[in-house]
Structure 1
Amino acid sequence: MADVKSPVSSPRDEEPRYPETQQAELTDLPHGIDVEQYRATVPRWKRIWQHSLTQMILLSIQAFCGPAMSDAITGLGGGGLATPQVSNISTAIRYAMLAVALTWEIPPSVCFLGGPIVNKIGVKWALVIGSMSFPIQGSAYYCNSKFGNQWYLILSGAISGIGTACWYVAEAGAIMTLAPSGARGKYLALWIVSRNLGQLVGGAINLAKNHEKGTEGGISPDTYVAFVIIESLALPFALLIVPFESVVRSDGTKIVTAETLSTKQELRRIAKTVTSRLIILSSLWALWSFFYSGSWSTYLGIYFSVRTRALSSLVSPFFCIVGCFGLGFILDMKGLSQRRRAQIGLYTVIILNVGVYIWSIIMQVKFDHHNPGHIDWDDGIYAKSFLPYFFVQTTGPLSQSYMYWLLSSFATDAQENVRNGAAFRCIEAVGQAVAYGMNTQTTSDPIIGFGVTFGLLGAAIIPMIMLVNSTPDQIPADVVAEQQNAAREKLEGA
């Protein structure tokens, strides 16, 4: 059974400890706290800092500065370069290294599936290590655009892939752990929206510097300077993250954590996780969930002008914000069981994605018969050719947000969320590496990528229905906490 720790008495908490009598009162409820006592003994600034929403916002800001800026660069089509080939090579290497870093032991900072290192050093320091790698990508694109330096762009894919692996594992565990059980959908929507708001800001920068009609080649080199600056801001926010044991959720509950395991024990747990029914049934979904990004990015780079590609990175996130919060409200509906919400969420995501894929394939077949050249936003064909890309930037994130909500529905403690998130992220990275690897040749037909993506979704549906139909009606971590409460109360009454 998990050893639940107090949010105000973590052995890693460097702040002064409270008197033993106060600590005892605060830990009377294993899964909750005495709210009045907590307010009376803990300064307001610290209560705000330790609040689960504050921690989710800090994590979301990092997602804004890091992955969102990376998505904004990708959203330019081929990274905004004159040809998408080198960008696709770099991106494929980045995700390949990320997958390898998540899979094999790479001393001293990244270990098998990322689980041991994150559970060993804590989420905070894993986020710090990862955030330090964010500016490498922006700087590499700048050097390539300004000086034609291709070797650094390709090398940056390998370096940032390893560094980002640490951050992704920690992020996956955090986003599935921080939220109270009744607000997981909305918390995950906040995380997804922050990533898209980052792309929105990046898109504004892109459009401001690349709005002239008739511009040929790639994006202005100065565009990447702004990206580097924003990517560098992730580090100070990573330093503000507190350990899971110190977090107090908005409903007054604490995060259920297990005692620290040795590396050998952790590896055994990870091996068990990788072969678990949860990961096996969700593996095809994980492989598919980010697969769309390679083909649709290439589609944008081949068929759209520079300023239209810049505009796309500005407008693409708008509908995603609405869609993700809409899905969040569905997943948090109190009138339905958790299993029923999981089923509704799954069918919603599948139907929306199928519609977008069919539209995209129809457009690509037309382009195969008649190449439209570089489409500009004042061309008559612009709207119907761009809208599939626009909508996939919503349906793709919806599938990711939904899957992390579903994974968190099965976890018994925070460490298990880290392991499940690491395994899922590893498979995601493999999918992204393959997707971008398929598109390293600019002469390749994007319809191949569209067809493979569609096929992966079709293959993932049956295993996902099997998994969703077995969703517990209550989060196991909450059940563990209730059992501990009952046992404690029984002992006190004896």
Structure 2
Amino acid sequence: MATQESPIEPTAGQTEQRDYPTKWYRSTFYNMTILGLCNFAAPGIWGAMNSLGAGGAASPHLVNAANALTFCLMVVSCYFSSVLVHYIGIKGALIFGTIGYAPYAAGLYTNNRYGTEWLTLFGAALCGISAGVFWMAEAAIAIAYPEPWNKGKALGYWLTFRLSGQILGGAINLGLNADRDQAGKVSYTVFLVFIVLQASGPIVGLFLNRPSKVQRKDGKKVELSIVRNPWFEIRETTRLFATKKFLLTVLWIGQAVFAEAVFFTYLALWFSVRARALGSFVSGLVAIICGNLLGNYLDYQHIALRIRARSSFWLIVVLQGAWWTWATILVTKFRHTQPTYDWSSQGFGHSFGVFVLLTAGFQINYLFLYFFITNLAQSEEEIIRYAALLRGTESAWQALSYGLNSITIFSQVGGVYFNFALWAVAIWPAWEILKHFGTEKSVLAPNAVSVEHSGDGLGAEEDFEVKDK
């Protein structure tokens, strides 16, 4: 743990080096690419299946229940993930985290083809145990590996791979089901491709550099290790969760991630098979563009962090409010009319558009959550703990979301109503934290001095504590 104060990122009085020699296979770009490929193979393909609407099933209720089980177990595995890092390191934790995804895809395959339900639930359980560790590990790596001026772009680049899985799933499904203009389940052939891709995740993870091997352009070493005993880690993680600065972000995390089950269930309930495939393809492309634009803006060095943080926050608030208003009007009408929209149907455009925009909103919210965590952590050990807390809190909200959306009335209208209300109540607590980002005297980190300098990047204005060498 930290026994002296030393900034991870350069302060105003330090010269920031950006041309430190690096080998391509040790660079942050290389490592973010490997991390992205792991993301593509594991949660990316999971997202591809989910983006088909209810995992490609004719009814969303079993798959929503399975996803609720997955996220419940992820809450537990996220919480204890820093203990696992103590024993096998951050790279080992990432590889371990990829193992459980393929069994879940196999469960969806057998359910789709043979009607088997138990393997869907068993696969969901295995996925939950490993995925919580994966979520923590990838978040910590994505925050800690890149140089400060590249953090936003690196996050956007990394998250692009997750959406690439969704786009691939949509493209495959669109090719196989382009003539199916009615409601129903997708072709089981799709899942064979998904199983193979998810099984490749652990192999891809072997190519990631350990933190000590990473070479950054600023010459700084990456230290992502847990050296204290496991009980100390559990106590520290619990302590961070109970702090004001994290508790005030819990509702904001909730409004961001609760939406996933809501809009994918919306897609499954009200659209034909080929329209669902088109939805996963188009929404993925739009979300990639929006996420990378936000990442580049958050890195823009000529605008102060305070302005970048506040303008991004209020843009997200306004857009989300508009989209939830739109969705509320639609689902209230659909509850009575019970439509099935195909791309040839009248009214398809206005009903389909809100799904695309909510998917894009999920992506920019997701990236912005990492911006929050980057500005909360005071040491690289805290990055691991905050990453675990972020992903565990996400999992808890998503478990609640998928569980509730397995109830018919909630899936039809209640999910949209609840998420709209959650958005409204989350704004003030999140603002109480965010308004201090980039200010001279931050109440968030009393032991740190927040400064501005010409080379700042995503969250680069804060000093941090690091452990003695």
Q: Does 1:118 align with 2:85?
A: yes
- Matched residue, 1:290: 257
Counterpart of 2:463 in structure 1 is 479
2:398 to 413, 420, 432: 432
- Mapped to 1, the partners of 2:230 and 2:460 lie a distance apart of 24
Q: 2:381 aligns with which of 398, 408, 415?
A: 415
* Contact 2:101–2:127 (CA under 8 A) maintained in structure 1: yes
Amino acid at match of 1:379: S
* CA deviations over 1:66-121 (Å, ceiling 9, x no partner): 11111111111111111111111111111111113334xxxxxxx2xx22212442
Number of the residue aligned with 1:319: 286
Alignment of 1:218-297 (within 5 A): 218-256=185-223, 260-297=227-264
Match for residue 7 of structure 2?
none
Inter-partner Cα distance in structure 1 for 2:26 and 2:99: 23
In 2, Cα distance between equivalents of 1:158 and 1:34: 45
Which letter maps to 2:424? G
Pairwise CA distance, 1:217 = 2.6
Which region of structure 1 is more displaced relative to structure 2, 166-175 or 255-264?
255-264
Letter in 1 for 2:228: L
Structure 1 length-normalised TM: 0.84
Task: Give the RMSD, CA atoms, in angstroms.
Answer: 2.5
When structure 1 is superposed on structure 2, of 64-73 and 240-249 the one drifting more is 240-249
Q: 1:203, 1:310 within 8 Å by CA — same for their partners in 2?
A: yes
| Deviation at residue 329 of structure 1 after TM alignment | 2.0
Partner residue in 2 for 1:461: 427
Which digits, 9 at most, give the CA deviation of each residue in 1:170-227, with x for residues without a partner? 0111111112111211111112211111111111111111111345531111111011
Counterpart selection for 2:36 from 60, 75, 78: 60
Does the 8 Å contact 1:78/1:301 carry over to 2?
yes
* Counterpart contact for 1:205–1:226, Cα < 8 Å: no
Q: 1:24 — aligned with what? A: none
C-alpha change, 1:189 and 1:33, in structure 2 (3 Å) is: closer
Distance, in Å, in 1 between the alignment partners of 2:409 and 2:273 is 19
Conserved in 1, the CA contact under 8 Å of 2:148 and 2:460? Answer: no
CA 1:430–1:258: 2 relative to 1, 3 Å: closer
User: Is contact 1:140–1:152 with CA below 8 Å preserved after alignment?
Assistant: yes
- In structure 2, the residue matched to 1:108 is none
CA contact (8 A) 1:410 1:476 kept: no
Q: Tell me what 2:77 maps to.
A: 101
User: Could you tell me how far apart the structure 1 residues matched to 2:87 and 2:434 are?
Assistant: 31
Q: CA 1:35–1:334 in 2, change beyond 3 Å: closer, same or farther?
A: closer
Amino acid at match of 1:410: L
8 Å CA contact 1:72–1:203 kept in 2: the answer is yes
Contact 1:296 1:446 in 2 (8 A): no
2:290 and 2:19 map into 1 onto residues whose CA distance is 35
Cα distance, 1:217–1:258 mapped onto 2, change above 3 Å? closer
Taking the TM superposition and a 5 Å limit, the aligned residue runs for 1:111-190 are 111=80, 114-190=81-157
Give the count of matched residue pairs.
442
Deviation at 1:387, TM superposition (A): 0.6
Distance 1:306 1:57 in 2: 32
1:442 corresponds to: 408
Q: Which amino acid aligns with 1:97?
A: L
- Consecutive unaligned residues in structure 2, runs of 5 or more: 5-13, 439-449, 452-458
| 1:266 maps to amino acid | E
SS at match of 1:412: coil
1:70 paired to 2:33? no
CA contact (8 A) 2:144 2:224 kept: no
| Partner Cα separation in structure 2 for residue 179 and residue 34 of structure 1 | 12
Deviation per residue, 1:217-262 (Å, 9 max, x gap): 3111111101111111211111111222221223333225577111
Mapping 1:296-315, distance limit 5 Å = 296-315=263-282
> Do the aligned partners of 2:104 and 2:122 also contact (CA within 8 Å) in 1?
no
Match among 386, 389, 394 for residue 360 of structure 2: 394
Whether the 8 Å CA contact 2:270–2:341 is kept in 1: the answer is yes
Q: What TM-score do the two structures reach when normalised by structure 2? A: 0.88
Structure whose CA Rg is larger: 1
Quick check: 1:283–1:427 contact (8 Å CA) kept in 2? yes
Structure 1 unpaired stretches of 5+: 5-29, 40-46, 104-110, 489-494
CA separation of 1:332 and 1:307: change in aligned 2, threshold 3 A: same
C-alpha displacement of 1:35: 6.8
Residue pair 1:177, 1:414 contacting (<8 A) in 2 also: yes
Q: How does 1:84-95 map to 2 (within 5 A)?
A: 84-95=60-71
Shift of 1:141: 0.6
